[in-house]
Structure 1
């Protein structure tokens, strides 16, 4: 039984959010880091704070810890996810290797970017779905779109820092990007985890910008005009360089990608299911017509056959383009290939059964 109160060690309530736990750890870790704090017990307290954060920052480990603290280690098994955690699986004892908060190695190595981390990275592309009529796709169109995006912060010019020195070594991990957590109480020595202060980069912003919080970018509503050329088809992409999300800490900006949505060419929903259903039943009907069991299979396939036809024919087929029919035939062919093997087996078995029972009476 773990008798340490991790919540008290970090100074947070039992219902504290993940953000509150991370903030509390960062504050304590800065004060207790051995390179900063020269008190005799600073290193031991730093390890204790790191251990508490390693458990409470992970949803599953936190749920198991809460269950063990409640005196019922099986409380987390099989039920709905606890309010403070999100763990929904069954209780797995001691993780297979004697440690109740995970498998061998103990701690998650997932990179988490802290509020003041300095980690330049390329901004992600922004994909915008643009609806086009059949005429716009044929003749070409220029469509204005609005979309949420990150843009470079004007206050710090994208660096994340308002000082001349943009970054410095992380005070929590000393620039290594990871911290050691003492697992001696579980008989496993030490394990290393990604530093939550710098997210593994080993660097933090020297003087975080008050506008963007040190990230170097802010959330805005972007606007652009996407130009689709004549002859555009559903799913075609138009890329606009540098109009996507700005990167963090001065990283390169991503692109804006306009994806054409042409309803007259888009095969989806009921029509797709209808083509696939027709493809599934077709091998049964074709093969049974050569084996003398057509009437039996027609009776078995009548309902899915009618359902497939209805789903296709009620999808405004008279206003669909040639590409819509081409995609429908591709889905139909996929259904045929998936149903062919079952049709061969079923028709062969039915033919053999019919011959076995009717064979003695054919010449009577």
Structure 2
């Protein structure tokens, strides 16, 4: 490559190759060459491998080379275009070709596509690429575009992966936030703030016994026991859950407490009194049924006669009076709520 430097008078041809300024041969200026003339010269140059392929045996044969140059001069048929001018033109073509190859190599390294604009370059590259190693220009361009497309696809895939990772992280954060919020709501649901309501409630003296439960202490059971003792016994035996056990009624109680908190205090207290009245009413009814079932068997044979029957009439009459009194007390409490 170092032995083929362009002539100063014809260096402009390396820029476009279409309109060289001219060549000197014994002081005669040749005519300007157009693209068609330059392409024809390159074709003739490629027909003689001894002028460009160093692997050919004739490449070092001076006589063969001179004959090849003379054949090109004769084929061109231009006035003033002799052997010296032809050799000078060959050096210009080769030098320009190698410069374009260097630009292509730099563009590959930098990742910026470059395609020569010289009209004769693809033609020269068909045979000079055998010694330059550049390959066909169209193939190189296609390969470069393929590499650029692959890089673009890789960048796009990388961006998609990053976006997917960010989206997954956001979803995980949202799920964690929702779980924490649900856990907090569940905790608040299971642990109502009952002491807060109790501290805010102060019953008036007339509301201290809204359903008349104080009168229950005066009720005497049919078995001779005090009514209050019967209530306490039934409450401890049947209404209290075992220690450490929890069922749906415990959860329901906490649910009711949470719902009462959402209401104004006055409405919550009224609703609490109504619920308590209903519960007390049904407990009293259940208590009466239990006392009737637990009555001791009547002593003595059935043949005791009217005296025995008359004696039994007294307790039965007393039990009926007690039930009526309990029912009256319950209804009186309900009337107070309404």
User: TM-score, normalized by length of structure 2?
Assistant: 0.22
User: TM-score, normalized by length of structure 1?
Assistant: 0.21
| Higher strand fraction (1 or 2) | 1
